[in-house]
Structure 1
């Protein structure tokens, strides 16, 4: 069975096939300090000599996707120049899920198609979605499992 993604089928297949050397997700969340410090850290990461020899894809936070290095170059362009495919983390983090058993669920499906179109325009060529299912002593609630699926 073949599933097609529409207008971007060929590009998606090429991108997925080219991510052979490994990916890196070594970014810092917005909560992790001062803007200029995050920018300096990201600049250090993406301009490391020979980085493209060791990784083929980089998963970025939304802030990073739209950010430039300290010398004004777009981070996605710096990655692409090294043969590294920029990707984007698209989930919006965990929030409490209503119900009798305390659980968390991952938000971000609302507006995802619109955000992904904007991310593509900015240079992202793949996306990552992660979620967790918290398992308290009583076990995960049926609602938590359903929402995580």
Structure 2
């Protein structure tokens, strides 16, 4: 992780999928494990990373086996995030109208607009954070 800048999940994926790659692009074997943390031979990791960057072309991690996403669980946005943004906007409007959060707002939104209550709870959580930022910026 230190040498490549990759996350623990990416290193784990490289390791678990190592048999799918040619010898020169294969992530190295674990050198030792201490307290459930794997350590690798530095020269082997450097050789892997050099070959991986040459094969990928840019060396950017986002091209290392996963599609880029928006960081919010929806690859590239799309209808899922758009629907969530609309739900957050409705929840934020509800918060503004009520002058702040009231218990049961997510259930009310679920009954009024459809969908499940848990989805509205997540939208309400995002809306509450936005509402709090608005209130802080307004000096309240």
Normalising TM by the smaller chain, what interval? under 0.3
Structure number with higher relative contact order (C-alpha < 8 Å, ≥ 6 residues apart): 1
Q: Name the structure where helix makes up a greater proportion of residues.
A: 2
TM-score by length of 2: 0.26
Q: Name the structure where strand makes up a greater proportion of residues.
A: 1
